[in-house]
Structure 1
Amino acid sequence: MKQKLLLILLLTFVSGRLAAQTKAINEEGFISIGGIEQWVTISGQDKTKPIILFLHGGPGSTMSQYDDAIYGYWKKDFVLVYWDQRGAGRTFGKNAPETVTEDYWIENPLTVEQMTADGIALSEYLVKHLGKQKITLVGTSWGSILGAKMALSRPDLFSAYVGHSQIVNEEAGFLHAFNTVSKLAQSAKDQESLDKLESLGPPPYGEARKSGQLMRIIKKYERENATPAPASWWKLTSAYDNEKDAQDRYNGDDYSFLYFAGHKAMGIKSMGAGVNFMQDGLHYKVPVYFIQGEEDILTPKELTKAYFDKVKAPKKEFILVPGAAHGHNQAVIDAQYKAVKKALKVL
């Protein structure tokens, strides 16, 4: 009798373990999106949970290569999807030639319209593949352009949109950032930065190199007042810690930024230049949450709050995060997590 009871307990334990394993999901691979193969990873402890699609910034700053130090604890509540967007990471590596030249850059343009269409196509795939009605979007910086565009154009696909470091009007934001760091450099008597800013002049530039130089000064001053993310967050998983992936991320980052900033000498138009949600992005049919770093210079709180105040949505919330700049830190991740749970009413 005792042996029979032990056998029943063992079978119960094993069947429970098997059930837990079958509920988990851990998939990665290339999916045909927009006529090319694009890299997507899907992971979570329970595939029946709501889907979160992360839209990375940069445009080339992919997230799929990192381990679970950043969003790992979300996996108990959600299915997490990372996507190497067109022109970035493994998607770039899959589609670019072995030797990348300027001709390749010019002949393979990146546009907001195409990448928004890619994001919608991926969302349609996820809804069907995972048997869901809707998914939740979390977009950061450049990804906030895609996130807003996707949510505005196909609200039927999305339960909510969470925009972090929301870009509202790219040209106005960049000029605001130039003026802000100019004042900060003057107050700090930072002659090196002042000389560089004087040589650059105010944006727009029409030259990616100049945009990059201004970005470096902006990041310098953001770091002074912001709490950084721990270095452990940026640890690569072993599968991505190799020369090929590193080179693809590097080349994709250059290619993507070139199209975001624009470069007149090569006939490349800035993707960011045409973005102005104050004109064409005020009416959402899904709940909207904006996560805004208080020390963010690149996408300043003044512009994001002015946009938020004009937005019409079923529900909206503006979350100002002290000690956060343009990038991620723990307070930002926690604010995103709380916003998503609130949007899905799973608090």
Structure 2
Amino acid sequence: MTQHDARKGGGLGKALLAGVALVAGAFVVRGAIQRQGRARAFLSEGVDEKTWITLGGLEQWVTIRGRDLQNPILLFLHGGPGMAMSPFLHRAFPHWEEHFTVVNWDQRGAGRTFGRHGKKGTGPLTLGRMVVDGIELTEELKRRFPGVPILLCGWSWGSILGIEMLRARPHLFAAYVGTGQVVDMTRGESLSYFGTIDRLRAKGDERGAARLEAIAPPPYPNIKSLNRQRWLLLSTMPKAERRAFLSVIPSLLVGPDARMRDLRDYFKGLEFSLESLWGQIADWRLTDGGAEFETPLVFIEGDLDLQVPAALVTEVFAKLRAPAKELVIVEGAAHAALLTHPDRFRRELVERLRPFALGRPAKARRRKPV
């Protein structure tokens, strides 16, 4: 999700400013939250590691947390490009850690990895380079945790990266789960653009619809236009979705391991990653590399997702062939189902994904919304 041009977001821009106004209050609880998070770490009988791992010659920030080292590893690939998940770790992953050893990676050009190296130190960003980084990280996890199955999870941009990693080295992974799964960038962006206009008009926001029409349909001429569309789209999303994305700043300031510089690094890395990678993935299609996969696939999609339209995901999913595949539709969720519907999302991971790592997958079927 790309939303750093708040000035173009109308009501959302005001909402973001209101979030900034809460920063002072956030500091009141920051210390308590950080102490609580560290206490949980000491009580863990599994693993709680925060470290720099050299991938492709560049030190990159990785966290590894789990309550039982016998659990399968879940390697999480954040969205964006450049939308590091580090600010949300204390919200999104604690309950996952009961069932998985969760590995979060601030990718090249994002979050703390960007903060350590900056633009010059990071060097050119390419999809191919990041695929190799991801494979190197997976191989390092294999060395550190011998015999433990690895599951791969990609969110949004991370689902592009994940699919390419899966194609390159399928036997490294017991199964793959995508959420906000990108399937066809060209068609998806077009559907998102026109669908956003329809939603804006349906809620009586003619001004917003006119502003989006003034951009003209994708491909967008620049990242600024992309951001404007994303902000207007977010204004049509369920309240929980808006709250999730607007919580970035508070999360950067009050998380258990938050540092003041993280705020700067996060948004600078997001801008750098988008400008570097968007053009490379603007026409990416999941089926360009073929519809056949050697690894089981699980897609968990919000039925209200219009950033990666759920109807398009459903259409492409039907064409895929894999040893097993599941499409789970989460009713009432949009692009951030893992944040807005955490209990449901965790349940699907445990019931649909985890069995593949344990050698006893459930019979593949499409799960109806509940």
Question: Structure 2 unaligned runs (5+)?
Answer: 1-41, 363-370
Question: What TM-score comes out, normalization by structure 2 length?
Answer: 0.78
Alpha-carbon offset, residue 56 of structure 1: 0.6
**Which residues of 2 match residues 14-93 of structure 1 at below 5 A?**
24-93=46-115
The change in CA–CA distance for 1:165 and 1:67 in structure 2 (over 3 A counts) is closer
Alpha-carbon offset, residue 187 of structure 1: 2.9
Match of 2:260 in 1: 243
Match of 1:17 in 2: none
Give CA deviations for 1:203-258 in whole Å, capped at 9, x if unaligned: 00231100111111111112369696599897456564222222111211111122
Question: What TM-score comes out, normalization by structure 1 length?
Answer: 0.83
Separation (CA, whole Å) in 2 of partners of 1:29 and 1:225: 32
The change in CA–CA distance for 1:185 and 1:66 in structure 2 (over 3 A counts) is closer
Matched residue type, 1:210: S
Count of residues in Structure 1 that have an aligned counterpart in Structure 2 = 313
Larger deviation: 195-204 or 181-190?
A: 181-190
Percent identity of equivalent pairs: 33
Separation (CA, whole Å) in 2 of partners of 1:28 and 1:226: 28
Tell whether the 8 Å contact from 1:42 to 1:81 is kept in structure 2 after alignment: yes
Please, which of 142, 145, 168 is the counterpart of residue 130 of structure 1? 145
Tell whether the 8 Å contact from 2:240 to 2:340 is kept in structure 1 after alignment: no
The change in CA–CA distance for 1:295 and 1:26 in structure 2 (over 3 A counts) is same
Separation (CA, whole Å) in 1 of partners of 2:276 and 2:292: 28
Separation (CA, whole Å) in 2 of partners of 1:333 and 1:232: 21
Please, which of 156, 159, 162 is the counterpart of residue 177 of structure 2? 162
The change in CA–CA distance for 1:227 and 1:323 in structure 2 (over 3 A counts) is farther
Please, which of 191, 195, 213 is the counterpart of residue 180 of structure 1? 195
Please, which of 339, 347, 354 is the counterpart of residue 341 of structure 1? 354
Separation (CA, whole Å) in 2 of partners of 1:24 and 1:229: 29
Alpha-carbon offset, residue 93 of structure 1: 1.1
Separation (CA, whole Å) in 2 of partners of 1:277 and 1:343: 22
The change in CA–CA distance for 1:64 and 1:271 in structure 2 (over 3 A counts) is same
The change in CA–CA distance for 1:223 and 1:300 in structure 2 (over 3 A counts) is same
Question: Structure 1 unaligned runs (5+)?
Answer: 1-19, 262-269
Separation (CA, whole Å) in 1 of partners of 2:251 and 2:228: 26
Return the structure number with greater relative CO, CA threshold 8 A, min gap 6: 2
Alpha-carbon offset, residue 317 of structure 1: 0.5
SS of the residue corresponding to residue 222 of structure 1 reads: coil
Tell whether the 8 Å contact from 2:90 to 2:255 is kept in structure 1 after alignment: no
Tell whether the 8 Å contact from 2:159 to 2:178 is kept in structure 1 after alignment: yes
